[in-house]
């Protein structure tokens, strides 16, 4: 893990804004001390949830998306550490491990043009390298009986999450994906649009449910591929629930749960699915923040939930409000995910 930067007390002190009469979340989270390795930390920490970040946008670029996903982690972490630690939201059930910086890979990618065939192939190779790092860490965390919370990067990183969970469990695992897109595109080389199809092809992904895809941006080819694998891959559309009102959101939560809940499963949240959320493919028609939070909370309460990944956030640094919206919303999703298990630290 040469690309990993570990979170430490100095980082925490720089990010947490102390205030008299308050206890901030960041004052109670756990992290490695100078004498610990990853293995000893995971073995010794009482934290159930282990958070780490991914700072890269290479997979997004290889998929012709808008870069910026490498910046989400720092924005989200700052916001999370400064929420309140109280009886409804306890920081001492969370360990912050650090983040993958991928600085060298990002610099190489900056000089590559995905519209040039040979240069796009180079981007694919960089994504494959990232895959290995992510899957290794996710597997390590899960084997320690912890639940990873992965923040940042593109949806190419879903592959590493799925593979890491599957390797730790010794079998194919399931995924529920809250997304405007299926990311089930052809196996043409690794990028943010085919993490699930690669995991499916390699038998790391068992059952897959895509929740709320946009009909206007799902190709005939993708619909055909889903139909060919209809026993394992299911979906509903945003238009069915929110526009034509053919399906009820809460009933669809239950329907999708039946497809994935009997096995270990991950929750994937693509911020593109949420209206006006700063992301790599920002949507002007999408689910509300309230619906996204309800989605996370619902699946966090299921017995076999094994990880949460929030990705595709791409803040515009010219707009300070843009960063605040992204950071605060991600912190809401994280706390919605951990609150069902508050009782273990009472």
Q: Give the model confidence (pLDDT) of 240-278 as tens digits.
A: 999 999 999 999 999 999 999 999 999 999 999 999 999
- The predicted structure's pLDDT at residue 101: 94
Picking from 298, 330, 290, 331, the residue whose alpha carbon sits closest to that of residue 84 is 331
Structure token digits, residue 142: 């899960």
Length of the chain: 346
Residue pair 66/60 in contact (Cβ under 8 Å)? The answer is: yes
- The predicted structure's pLDDT at residue 146: 98
CA angle 283, 194, 114 (to 5 degrees): 80
Picking from 4, 10, 46, the residue whose alpha carbon sits closest to that of residue 29 is 46
The b-or-e profile of 121-159 (16+ CB within 10 A means b, else e) is ebbbebbeebbebbbebbbbbbebebbbbbbbbbbbbbb
Give the chain's residues under pLDDT 50: 343-346
Picking from 142, 128, 133, 172, the residue whose alpha carbon sits closest to that of residue 42 is 142
**137: β partners:** none
CA dist 202 and 163 (Å) reads: 9
CA atoms lying within 13 Å on the CB side of residue 175: 33
CA dist 303 and 8 (Å) reads: 32
CA dist 340 and 337 (Å) reads: 7
CA dist 208 and 290 (Å) reads: 24
CA angle 47, 51, 53 (to 5 degrees): 165
Bridge-based pairing state of the strands 305-311 and 233-237: unpaired
- The predicted structure's pLDDT at residue 281: 86
Predicted TM-score of the model (pTM): 0.96
Picking from 344, 283, 271, 345, the residue whose alpha carbon sits closest to that of residue 308 is 271
- The predicted structure's pLDDT at residue 186: 96
- The predicted structure's pLDDT at residue 2: 83
- The predicted structure's pLDDT at residue 320: 61
Residue 190 DSSP one-character state: -
- Residue matched to tokens 């808008």: 66
Name the percent of the chain lying above pLDDT 90.
92
- Residue matched to tokens 């060298």: 104
Residue pair 280/60 in contact (Cβ under 8 Å)? The answer is: yes
């Amino acid at each position: 893990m040469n690309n990993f930067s570990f979170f430490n007390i100095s980082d925490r002190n720089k990010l947490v804004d102390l205030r008299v009469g308050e206890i901030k979340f960041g004052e109670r989270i756990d992290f490695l001390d100078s004498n610990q390795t990853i293995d000893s930390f995971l073995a010794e920490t009482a934290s159930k949830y282990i958070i780490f970040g991914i700072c890269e946008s290479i997979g997004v670029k290889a998929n012709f998306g808008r870069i910026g996903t490498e910046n989400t982690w720092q924005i989200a972490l700052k916001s999370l550490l400064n929420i309140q630690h109280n009886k409804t939201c306890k920081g001492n059930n969370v360990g912050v491990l650090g983040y993958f910086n991928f600085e060298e890979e990002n610099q190489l990618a900056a000089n590559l043009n995905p519209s040039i065939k040979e240069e796009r192939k180079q981007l694919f190779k960089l994504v494959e390298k990232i895959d290995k790092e992510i899957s290794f860490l996710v597997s390590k965390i899960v084997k320690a009986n912890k639940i990873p919370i992965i923040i940042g990067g593109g949806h190419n990183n879903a592959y590493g999450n799925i593979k890491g969970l599957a390797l730790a469990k010794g079998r194919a695992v399931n995924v529920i994906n809250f997304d405007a897109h299926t990311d089930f595109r052809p196996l043409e080389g690794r990028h943010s649009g085919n993490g699930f199809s690669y995991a499916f092809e390699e038998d790391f992904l068992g059952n897959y449910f895509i929740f709320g895809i946009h009909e206007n941006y799902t190709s005939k080819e993708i619909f055909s591929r889903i139909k060919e694998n209809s026993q394992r891959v299911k979906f509903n559309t945003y238009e069915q629930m929110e526009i034509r009102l053919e399906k009820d959101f809460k009933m669809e939560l239950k329907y999708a749960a039946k497809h994935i809940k009997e096995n270990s499963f991950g929750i994937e949240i693509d911020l593109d699915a949420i209206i006006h959320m700063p992301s790599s493919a920002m949507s002007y028609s999408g689910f509300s923040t309230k619906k996204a939070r309800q989605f996370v909370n619902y699946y966090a309460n299921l017995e076999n939930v094994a990880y949460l990944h929030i990705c595709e956030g791409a803040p515009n640094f010219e707009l300070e409000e843009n960063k605040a919206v992204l950071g605060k919303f991600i912190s809401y999703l994280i706390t919605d995910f951990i609150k069902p298990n508050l009782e273990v630290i009472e």
